[in-house]
Amino acid sequence: MIASVVATLDPDAALRSHLQTELAARPELEVGDWSPTMTRIPITIDVQNRHQMEDSTTWLRTQPGVLMVDVVFVYFEDEVNSKPRT
């Protein structure tokens, strides 16, 4: 399961100063281009199931300095449909 989200950050740089380190520590998150002055960052979340997706998005939106997380795209890989038909 893959999701693309955009995290909107607090304009106060002190509130979001730790965030880059915290995001880098989460293997399921891939952060797009981001500089310390940006208040919106694109993030890809790649997990195995919807429970992990919920855990990851909940963690992200509850981090200090994150104001909200907007879901842009979600891809549900269906194992039944991904197998070649014979």
Is the separation of the CB atoms in 2 and 46 below 8 Å? yes
Domain range 2-82, its CATH number among 3.40.50.20, 2.60.120.620, 3.20.190.10, 3.30.70.920: 3.30.70.920
Q: Is the dihedral of CA 21, 25, 8, 61 positive or negative?
A: negative
Q: What ranges do the domains of the chain cover?
A: 2-82
Residue 34, pLDDT score:
85
pLDDT band at 76 (very low <50, low <70, confident <90, very high): confident
Mean pLDDT of 5-10: 96
Burial of 2 (0-12, 13-18, 19+ CB in 10 A): middle
Q: What is the pLDDT of residues 17-67, one digit of tens each?
A: 888 889 999 999 999 988 878 999 999 999 999 999 999 999 999 999 999
Is the separation of the CB atoms in 3 and 70 below 8 Å? no
Residue 15, pLDDT score:
86
Is the separation of the CB atoms in 39 and 10 below 8 Å? yes
